[in-house]
Amino acid sequence: MIIDTPRQDIKNLDRATLQQWLQAQGEAPYRADQIWRWIYRDQVDTFDAMSNLSKPLRAALSNAFTIARLTLVQHEISTDGAEKFLFQLDDDRRIESVLIPERNHATLCLSSQVGCAQNCRFCFTATGGWERNLTRGEILAQVRDIKNHLSAPETLTNIVFMGMGEPLANYRNVVDAIQLLTDNKTGFGFSRRKITVSTAGLVPEMEALGRDTTISLAVSLNATDNTTRDRLMPINRRYPIETLLEACRRYPLQPHRRITFEYILLEGINDRPTDARRLAALLRPIRAKINLIPFNEHEGCRFRRPNEAVIQQFQQDLMDQGYTVIIRNSKGRDISAACGQLKARVEGFPKT
């Protein structure tokens, strides 16, 4: 009896595993680099297109593996140029990616999980719960597929892990994907300076990230006292502000690099002058810059965005203390901008 085993997405293999497979076929390990270049640089969809491989090797690859693409369920373009992609995975679960146009380049916001388990009270993705981690191949597929979508793929220069999920809760797959994203020889060749991982504050994984990579770190802080942060971000009960900021202080930064602290401004919760003063004092021992993010209101959420005068004053109070402070207004507000919102609109909003 012949048992038909499913083929594996080759993007889920690391180089060492692929080299072992090649050696079992009697092939030289360097073929792995050729295969990666075809997949990530040349964007081929079949092994038959890999013309510098022998026909028997191409046949063996086709029998063992796929070069999977994600299924595009919905694509929306905002009036400000932001593009939102809703992708379906092989198990019919769905994730979002967002392409953000800048003045002379584009930034891609990636998802790392289906849903999220951190349960931050202001986050729309949290309302749908956590389903599973994305594989290494599913993370890389977002980049590969969107580069393939672009008429000028070279304009995509920045990657941020700020989409659905907590990247550091899917640590191994995220770091493995980063290795291919920054591989100049056979991968995508992104600069390490232009890849940012955002975390709610998983301290042990932050410490590992500092050892394993030299990419940029962003920390979602959002409060200046533990009582408020406990209420907004349950992770704070495990790693309170003092523990989190001590890990940030010890984080190994490259010269001229700083940690980005993301601070979502919520009306009447964390937007007072006293909050700005405490934030400035808390970050003083750290090489820090601050992104202020006025809350993006979404269906079913009781939090509100502060008025413009309050936002501007909060920024000024921090700048007066010598910080670089950028106000990050959400792009794509006319196309379900909150992370997870397009998925919810297509599948049905979760009951709250």
The per-residue pLDDT string of the chain (352 residues; one tens digit each, 9 = 90 and over) reads 344 568 999 999 999 999 999 999 999 999 999 999 999 999 999 999 999 999 999 999 999 999 999 999 999 999 989 999 999 999 999 999 999 998 899 999 999 999 999 999 999 888 889 999 999 999 999 999 999 999 999 999 999 999 999 999 999 999 999 999 999 999 999 999 999 999 999 999 999 999 999 999 999 999 999 999 999 999 999 999 999 999 999 999 999 999 999 999 999 999 999 999 999 999 999 999 999 999 988 777 899 999 999 999 999 999 999 999 999 977 666 655 556 555 555 555 444 4
Q: Is 99 exposed, middle or buried (0-12, 13-18, 19+ CB in 10 A)?
A: buried
In the residue annotation, 267 being an active-site residue is answered as: no
Of 109, 116, 123, 339, the catalytic one is: 339
Which of 175, 115, 114, 110 minimizes the C-alpha distance to 146?
110
Of 83, 96, 205, 262, the catalytic one is: 96
Task: State whether CATH 1.10.150.530 applies to domain 13-66.
Answer: yes
- Helices 171-181 and 203-212 cross at an angle (nearest 10°) of 30
The dihedrals phi and psi of 201, each to the nearest 5 degrees, come to: 120, 45
**71-347: what CATH class?**
alpha beta
Following DSSP, what letter does each residue of 257-326 receive, concatenated?
Answer: --EEEEEEE-TTTS-SHHHHHHHHHHTTTS-EEEEEEE----TT----PPPHHHHHHHHHHHHTTT--EE
Domain boundary assignment for the chain:
13-66, 71-347
pTM: 0.92
In the residue annotation, 96 being an active-site residue is answered as: yes
